[in-house]
Amino acid sequence: MQSVLSLFRLGIDGLLLNPLAYREQRDSPDGLRRGFTLIAIIGLIIGAASLIGNLGEYASQPSSEAIVKTVYVGLRTMPWFAQVSELDSTFPARFDQQFAQITQSIQTISDGGMIRSLAGIITTPLIMVVSWLLFGTIAHLMARALGGRAAFHQTLACTALASGVNILGVIEVVPFAQVTGTMLLGLVASYVAIREAHGLPPWRTLWATILGPVLLALILIAVTCVGLALMISAARSAIQGGVL
């Protein structure tokens, strides 16, 4: 219990940008292990909080069947529906078919959201650990290239402490609640972590901190653009095939 409490206090010190805590992590022989454990615990807490919040949202929302029925009746009673039906007698049947397909897809996505929330208890800490290792590796390479002196395990130990800011995500336990600003605060905490680990001057610390996220953001944007292009191409092919 004492170990968990000490890790919790360590995470709070990271959240509060306490430079002494980052130096302690840097110089501690088990700083890497403590950092990994801290990230895993925070990930589990956030995953559980998100699941509880999503369950609250699900319980407070009207049933999907009632929403679908209301939308369906509303669309069929609109003037344009009667006008199009007069011009094309097959339109109502085709409309019902398309509407059923769309609503089925939406319900599948909605149900998948709850499954993702359940899986989030496992995937959230996993994603946080992978993100920490990826960011820590890039930040270490950047810092060393700029004259940093810390060893790789020291960089990881300090950047793990910067993950303490993610504990703010526990607010998601409240349905529909969202927390903002954690990314900016996380960068500030990472700045402190790299500064204390490598002893770099301010501008070099800044570059070592932001170049990694900028590089990752560019890669993510490129992958997203490629994915959207493929989706648009597939949608056009499907529409053209339906028309033909």
Average pLDDT (186-192) is 87
CA distances from 41 to 46, 48, 74 (A): 9, 11, 48
For residue 144, pLDDT beyond 80: yes
Distance, in Å, from the CA atom of 159 to the CA atom of 32, rounded to the nearest integer, reads 10
pLDDT digits (tens, 9 = 90+) for 90-121: 888 888 888 787 777 666 655 555 566 677 78
**pTM, 2 dp:** 0.69
N-terminal to C-terminal alpha carbon distance within the chain: 67
Average pLDDT (29-56) is 85
The per-residue pLDDT for 140 is 92
The per-residue pLDDT for 243 is 44
Question: pLDDT band at residue 156, thresholds of 50, 70 and 90?
Answer: very high
Question: pLDDT band at residue 15, thresholds of 50, 70 and 90?
Answer: confident
pLDDT digits (tens, 9 = 90+) for 62-73: 666 777 778 878
Instruction: Judge residue 138's burial from the number of C-beta atoms within 10 Å of its C-beta, 0-12 exposed, 13-18 middle, 19 or more buried.
Output: middle
Q: In the chain, pLDDT over 90 holds for what percent of residues?
A: 8
The per-residue pLDDT for 178 is 60
Q: Which residue has the higher pLDDT, 237 or 135?
A: 135
The per-residue pLDDT for 1 is 46
Average pLDDT (225-240) is 75
Distance, in Å, from the CA atom of 67 to the CA atom of 98, rounded to the nearest integer, reads 17
Which backbone phi and psi does 151 adopt, to 5 degrees?
A: -80, 165
